[in-house]
Amino acid sequence: MWSELRALRDGVDLGTPPRDGEPVTLSVDGVPVTVAAGSSVLLAAGIAGCTVPKLCATDTLEPFGSCRVCLVEIEGRRGYPASCTTPVDDGMQVRTNSEMLTKLRRGVIELYLSDFPEGDIDGGWSQLNDTLDQVGVHRLADDHPYRSGANHQSGVLDLSNPYFLFDQAKCIVCSRCVRACEEIQGTFALTIGGRGFGSTVVAGQDESFLDSDCVSCGACVQACPSDALIEKSLFPGGYERADSRQA
Amino acid sequence: MSAPSNMRVFVPCDALSIALGADEVADRLVAEAASRSLDVTVVRNGSHGLFWLEPMVEVEVDGVRHAYGPIDADDVPELLDAGLLEAGPHRTSLGPTHSIPELERQTRLTFARVGVIDPRSLDDYLAHGGFDGLRRALTMAPGDVVGEIETSGLRGRGGAAFPTGIKWRTVLGAPATPKYVVANADEGDSGTFADRMVMEGDPFCLIEAMAIAAHAVGASHGVIYCRSEYPHAIATLEYCIDVAPQHGWLGSGIAGSGLDFDIEVRVGAGAYICGEETSMLESIEGKRGMVRPKPPLPALEGLYGKPTVVNNIITLASVPWILANGGAAYSAHGVGRSSGTLPVQLAGNIRRGGLVEVPFGITVRELIEGYGGGTASGRPARAVQIGGPLGAYFHDGQLDTVLDYEAIAAAGGLLGHGGVVVFDDTIDMAAQARFAMEFCAAESCGKCTPCRIGSTRGVELIDKIVIGERRSADVAQLEELCDVLEHGSLCALGGLTPYPVRSAMQHFPEDFGLGDRNSDQNFEQKVGESN
Ligand SMILES: Cc1cc2nc3c(=O)[nH]c(=O)nc-3n(C[C@H](O)[C@H](O)[C@H](O)COP(=O)(O)O)c2cc1C
Ligand code: SF4
Ligand code: SF4
Ligand code: FES
């Protein structure tokens, strides 16, 4: 059910929630677009029809700015700001594609792929797959230097909740589940524990989902872009972890 | 000859001097003086920053301070026998303190009082120009105080070198209230200690600065966020924050004006990333030290979402001098857009390590050779890391670069918090590059992907490059990774880690098995051909 809901949403997910400020006009890849002040550049780009890849942003949650695939260029500004956390300005000129942007987005996706089960990419239907399609990278080359690095491919597989499961091997640590639990459900059952490379989703006080304060509302499952949180009903024969990629 | 009466002898109380035995020296002085019936007061001052002379003991004779150092507790009887109280000669004599060459040549504006006064004495502070800046500021309109900072050209000393006046102007113009002043004393850069020296040696200066900032922007509450590794600084600050309101320098109606402002000390969570301003604000709010995206700027939506001045301790400590002497007097020092002075911290393999406050515009060579006396090992200096663990490495051919934000940037580096760490010719620069990636991995808050995963991949790549099985492919990948880190990271931890990594590879390719910079000017081409 949740995945159907999500599929419905996907068509219209502009990445960040709508705002109600005064109208502001900017241009995205030369296309003029008018949105409410306070809106993100990501949202404006979507309305202008210049879809920018995204992973950590979804229009039911406040922008977070962690995945860094939504980078754009803005005339007169240095660097490559994340479009999801950059508010629009009158007269702003945004570029959503350039050689450098392609390179940076591919670079970020390669980092994700270096810690993701390879066998789960082909035929996948998560938002992550959409993003991979947009960026145009689906797997690391056989001799890619990132292969065989440290990873979380034998991490936690939490099957405790009767309705959904959490597979750390597929978690891209985007915090969408944590934020959904907090912002949509108001429950605060999930946090990100650890730091840096060791960051991971933690239920309750480092408990199983079942033992935590989780109320099984499914907000996190609906929010997860990579199917690390997924309904058990989709696996009638029981869940089996996909081949953990690269040996 | 009658024994001199009421003599003041100074023994530093800062953490470094204490680690080197200053407490024992002070105790022994008190005990020996008592047993000899000498009328001596031992004053615990801050450190002058001449670390190779610590613990440095001074005696004040006819208003002139004479220095001895380094002094061990066991030297004390002999020192008194030699006539310490008349500034008599001893093998450790350094002459009048102000004419010690490394001190005499400095331009001490921000550090004028550090080492001179008793940090806990409000009277001493007032006797050395303390609160002159605040007194003048309180006669001025807030916008004019900000104007004075703008005139001074002061830029942030915490790392990003952002113009302080512009930041204050933004907070002043923000309509929301209450507003806050947050002093960043997380001082996480290895080899830096200037913030600590101010807090331990001239704490009222920080209080004065924060009160000036409060008046300038309309703030009512201040927070000093101090790293937990600085217990002496925390104790001193807490003492002074307790004393100041009793004399009208904090609290309501400061110095008889309409300014109400108080300060609290918060102890850091022990993570490097908590020095990053947005992460620090999260930590002060009691949350996990995670970086927030900017915008919103802390100046507009900072602590508890309210307009907030966040400044480094050295930035703030420069403010009272500027208000007392005028912004123009400050900008008379320095060069170009690097106005005033920079307290430089010399560390690593250096003979005379410590703090030197110099005007912008002197060369790196003058710092490490003129002030620092070259390496401690006596071997040739091979690399200098400027600007902390995220700063670039300079090679010996770049030592004539001048100390100036723009010149250092043009040479591929950054000045950061003013740390200068010297390495001799035994250093392995591939190991240093690896260390930079390891540091990033260890300190990453884990929020953004380039830093969270990329730093670990960086360590792995450098290991592979050193092993050298597929060196050119691994070097190319490391270059790409550095691009993603530099341009894709959410904050400067990931964003600056490529500085030490790339500079190490560029300047010291031979350490990575990539040919020799000296014999091969175009090593990148060589990299392409290796393998
Ligand atoms: C990873 C990281 C660590 C930082 N650590 C410190 C620190 O320890 N002390 C500090 O003053 N600024 C630190 N900064 C800079 C602050 O974010 C901020 O720019 C500074 O406190 C602003 O004050 P200033 O304008 O007076 O320099 C750090 C920045 C980053 C990205
Ligand atoms: S479980 Fe899903 S939503 Fe949660 S952090 Fe991992 S990838 Fe993101
Ligand atoms: S660069 Fe590193 S420390 Fe900074 S936000 Fe990203 S993960 Fe956190
Ligand atoms: S979608 Fe913008 S950073 Fe993730």
Report d(CA B131, CA A153) in Å as an integer: 60
Q: How far is A190 from chain B (nearest CA, A)?
A: 14
Structurally, how many domains does chain B consist of?
4
Same domain for B162 and B189?
A: yes
Q: Based on the number of CB atoms within 10 Å of its own CB, is A122 exposed (0-12), middle (13-18) or buried (19 or more)?
A: exposed
pLDDT score of A247 more than 80 = no
- Please give the angle made by the CA atoms of B84, B90 and B91, to the nearest 5 degrees: 145
Q: Which domain holds residue B61?
A: 7-104
The three-class DSSP label of residue B143 is helix
Residue B286: strand pairing partners: none
Q: What is the pLDDT of residues B150-191, one digit of tens each?
A: 999 999 999 999 999 999 999 999 999 999 999 999 999 999
Q: Which domain holds residue A211?
A: 157-233
Report d(CA A207, CA A89) in Å as an integer: 44
The DSSP symbol for B367 reads I
Q: Based on the number of CB atoms within 10 Å of its own CB, is B35 exposed (0-12), middle (13-18) or buried (19 or more)?
A: exposed
Domain presence at residue A169 = yes
CATH of the domain at B249: 3.40.50.11540
Domain presence at residue B269 = yes
The answer to whether the CB of A155 falls within 8 A of the CB of A244 is: no
- Number of Cα atoms under 13 Å in the Cβ half of residue B99: 7
- Please give the angle made by the CA atoms of A62, A188 and A114, to the nearest 5 degrees: 65
Domain final residue pick, B424, B455, B473 = B424
Report d(CA B146, CA B165) in Å as an integer: 6
Domain presence at residue A85 = no
pLDDT score of B528 more than 90 = no
Dihedral of CA atoms B454, B457, B461, B463 in degrees, nearest 10, equals: 130
Q: What is the pLDDT of residues B225-234, one digit of tens each?
A: 999 999 999 9
CATH of the domain at B419: 3.10.20.600
Work out the average pLDDT over A82-93: 98
The answer to whether the CB of A223 falls within 8 A of the CB of A178 is: no
pLDDT of residue B469: 95
Of B446, B464, B490, nearest to A195 by CB-CB distance is B446
Ligand 4 centre to CA of B312 (Å) is: 30
Q: What is the pLDDT confidence band of residue A11, given thresholds at 50, 70 and 90?
A: low
Q: Which numbered ligand comes closest to the C-alpha of B290?
A: 3
Is A48 touching B (CB cutoff 8 A)? no
The answer to whether the CB of A64 falls within 8 A of the CB of A179 is: yes
The three-class DSSP label of residue B363 is strand
Same domain for B128 and B194?
A: yes
Same domain for B93 and B165?
A: no
Same domain for B420 and B438?
A: no
Domain presence at residue A23 = no
Domain presence at residue B57 = yes
Q: Tell me the average pLDDT of chain B.
A: 95
Neighbour-count burial for B198-212, b at 16+ CB within 10 Å, e otherwise: bbbbbbbbbbbbbbb
Q: What is the pLDDT of residues B73-120, one digit of tens each?
A: 999 999 999 999 999 999 999 999 999 999 999 999 999 999 999 999
Q: Is B188 in the pocket of ligand 1 (CB under 6 A)?
A: yes
pLDDT of residue A6: 47
Q: Is B297 in the pocket of ligand 1 (CB under 6 A)?
A: no
Residue B348: strand pairing partners: B422
C-alpha distances in Å from residue A15, one per residue of A41, A44, A63, B446: 10, 10, 8, 22
Q: Tell me the average pLDDT of chain A.
A: 93
The answer to whether the CB of B323 falls within 8 A of the CB of B134 is: yes
CATH of the domain at A213: 3.30.70.20
Q: Which long-range contacts (CB under 8 A, 24 or more apart) does B403-407 make?
A: B403/B338, B403/B342, B403/B344, B403/B358, B403/B360, B403/B361, B403/B362, B403/B363, B403/B364, B403/B367, B404/B334, B404/B335, B404/B336, B404/B338, B404/B360, B404/B361, B405/B155, B405/B161, B405/B337, B405/B338, B405/B360, B406/B336, B406/B337, B406/B338
Domain presence at residue A141 = no
Report d(CA B489, CA A108) in Å as an integer: 10
Full 3-state SS string of B495-508: HHCHHHHHHHHHHC
Domain presence at residue B490 = yes
What's the whole-model pTM score? 0.95
pLDDT of residue A24: 97
Same domain for B341 and B327?
A: no
pLDDT of residue B527: 44
Work out the average pLDDT over A71-86: 97
Is A78 touching B (CB cutoff 8 A)? no
pLDDT of residue A71: 98
The DSSP result for B313-356, as a single string, is HHHHHTHHHHHHH-HHHHHTSEETTEESEEEEEEEES-TT-EEE
pLDDT of residue B2: 59
Nearest CA to B115 out of B343, B361, B348, B373 is that of B343
Same domain for B446 and B510?
A: yes
Structure-block tokens of residue B325: 């002497």
Instruction: Inspect the interface and report whether the beta carbons of B446 and A173 lie closer than 8 Å.
Output: yes
The answer to whether the CB of B225 falls within 8 A of the CB of B289 is: no
Task: Give the E-state strand segments of B126-274 in sequence order.
Answer: 180-185, 221-226, 262-267
pLDDT score of B523 more than 50 = no
Q: Which mutation among B170, B276, B339, B485 tests ligand 1's pocket best, with the greatest number of atoms within 8 A of CB? A: B276
Of B444, B450, B477, nearest to A108 by CB-CB distance is B450
- % of residues, chain B, pLDDT over 70: 96
Q: Is A127 in the pocket of ligand 2 (CB under 6 A)?
A: no
Q: What is the pLDDT of residues B244-270, one digit of tens each?
A: 999 999 999 999 999 999 999 999 988
Work out the average pLDDT over A86-105: 98
Report d(CA B38, CA B34) in Å as an integer: 6
Domain presence at residue B111 = no
Structurally, how many domains does chain A consist of?
1
Same domain for B73 and B138?
A: no
Nearest-CA residue of chain A relative to B465? A145
| Helix (H), strand (E) counts: chain A | 6, 9
Domain presence at residue A84 = no
Of A111, A175, A192, nearest to B454 by CB-CB distance is A111
Domain final residue pick, B273, B302, B331 = B331
Q: Which numbered ligand comes closest to the C-alpha of B272?
A: 1
Structure-block tokens of residue B441: 């991995």
pLDDT of residue B156: 98
Nearest-CA residue of chain B relative to A63? B293
Q: What is the pLDDT confidence band of residue B207, given thresholds at 50, 70 and 90?
A: very high
Same domain for B326 and B340?
A: no
Report d(CA B297, CA B305) in Å as an integer: 10
Q: What is the pLDDT of residues A150-180, one digit of tens each?
A: 999 999 999 999 999 999 999 999 999 999 9
Q: What is the pLDDT of residues B400-435, one digit of tens each?
A: 999 999 999 999 999 999 999 999 999 999 999 999
Ligand 3 centre to CA of B376 (Å) is: 35
pLDDT score of A242 more than 80 = no
Q: What is the pLDDT confidence band of residue A132, given thresholds at 50, 70 and 90?
A: very high
Domain presence at residue A240 = no
The DSSP symbol for A184 reads I
Domain presence at residue B114 = no
Instruction: Inspect the interface and report whether the beta carbons of A80 and B450 lie closer than 8 Å.
Output: no
| ipTM for the assembly | 0.95
pLDDT score of B194 more than 50 = yes
C-alpha distances in Å from residue B511, one per residue of B155, B391, B432, B473, B507: 36, 19, 10, 17, 10
Neighbour-count burial for B214-251, b at 16+ CB within 10 Å, e otherwise: bbbbbbebbbbbbbeebebbbebbeebbebbbeeebbe
Of A65, A86, A111, nearest to B490 by CB-CB distance is A65
Q: Is A57 in the pocket of ligand 2 (CB under 6 A)?
A: no
Q: Which helix (H) or strand (E) holds B239?
A: helix B231-246
Q: Is A228 in the pocket of ligand 2 (CB under 6 A)?
A: yes
Termini Cα distance of chain B = 82
Structure-block tokens of residue B118: 């008793």
CATH of the domain at B41: 3.40.30.10
Domain final residue pick, B307, B331, B355 = B331
Choose from B274, B462, B484 for mutation: most chain A CBs within 10 A: B484
Q: How far is A109 from chain B (nearest CA, A)?
A: 9
Of B453, B473, B489, nearest to A115 by CB-CB distance is B453
Same domain for B382 and B463?
A: no
pLDDT of residue A246: 45
pLDDT score of B472 more than 90 = yes
Q: What is the pLDDT of residues B22-77, one digit of tens each?
A: 999 999 999 999 999 999 999 999 999 999 999 999 999 999 999 999 999 999 99
The answer to whether the CB of B383 falls within 8 A of the CB of B427 is: yes
Dihedral of CA atoms A53, A55, A60, A61 in degrees, nearest 10, equals: -120
The answer to whether the CB of A189 falls within 8 A of the CB of A203 is: yes
Instruction: Inspect the interface and report whether the beta carbons of A111 and B443 lie closer than 8 Å.
Output: no
Sheet of B308-312, strand order: B262-267, B221-226, B180-185, B308-312
pLDDT score of B142 more than 60 = yes
Domain presence at residue A24 = no
Ligand 3 first shell, C-beta below 6 A: B 273, 291, 444-448, 451-452, 489-491, 493-494
Cα Rg, chain B, nearest whole Å? 24
Q: What is the pLDDT confidence band of residue B518, given thresholds at 50, 70 and 90?
A: low
Same domain for B388 and B467?
A: no
Same domain for B142 and B156?
A: yes
Domain presence at residue A45 = no
Tokens 């999500």 correspond to A6
Residue B67: strand pairing partners: B58, B95
Instruction: Inspect the interface and report whether the beta carbons of A197 and B447 lie closer than 8 Å.
Output: no
Same domain for B139 and B214?
A: yes
